[in-house]
Structure 1
Amino acid sequence: MDKSKQPFLKKKKKKRSFRRPLSPIQGKRIHHKNISLISRFISQQGKILPRRVTRLTLKQQRLVTKAIKIARILVLLPFRNNEKKLKRTKPTARTPRLRTRNK
């Protein structure tokens, strides 16, 4: 068989390995009393951040979620953050009116 009549052969590409950067809790123990570590994984509204944001493994995310829930039950963390309270800048002036019945 001539080389010109052989089917075109594609070269196989080597697979590239995908390595995630080191997670933020590398080597640290996840415990519900470690508030400084746990508070990194909570949003400003008090919600638990998802894995794609925190860059944790599935096992680490489960442990963090459990620790956050236990800390909330033990009142070490709030269930939600209520910092956005309405502030009155100026009291509204109310004028007293005479109420009369229409007959």
Structure 2
Amino acid sequence: METLHYRFEHGHRALPATSAAVLVGVVGSGNLEVLVEAAPLDGACAIDITTAAVGFGATWQAVVDDFQQRWSLADARIAINDMGATPAVVSLRLDQALENLLGGAP
């Protein structure tokens, strides 16, 4: 298992502090779960990833960079538990979680 941590400063879309956390996906063979919750992070978005696919830090960096570029989250904490999902599935689950939380696309 590998744990990766990313932090993006100065997001523009703050999650409502009163919003409930959102969980999408199921950890299983070749899949992942994403938990998104509001957190007082001085305008930052923190993403923590626990993955069974060791050695893919550059790929994860590209996926989370793309995600943050689309959503520009602030005061948000995201936890990803991964069992080998493809980058497309990761992006899909992240977008699904935010659409559930915010009620629409970026």
Fold in common (TM above 0.5): no
* Alignment TM-score, normalising by the size of structure 1: 0.27
Larger strand proportion, structure 1 or 2?
2
Greater Rg by CA: 1
* Alignment TM-score, normalising by the size of structure 2: 0.27
Structure of higher RCO (CA pairs closer than 8 Å, 6+ residues apart):
2
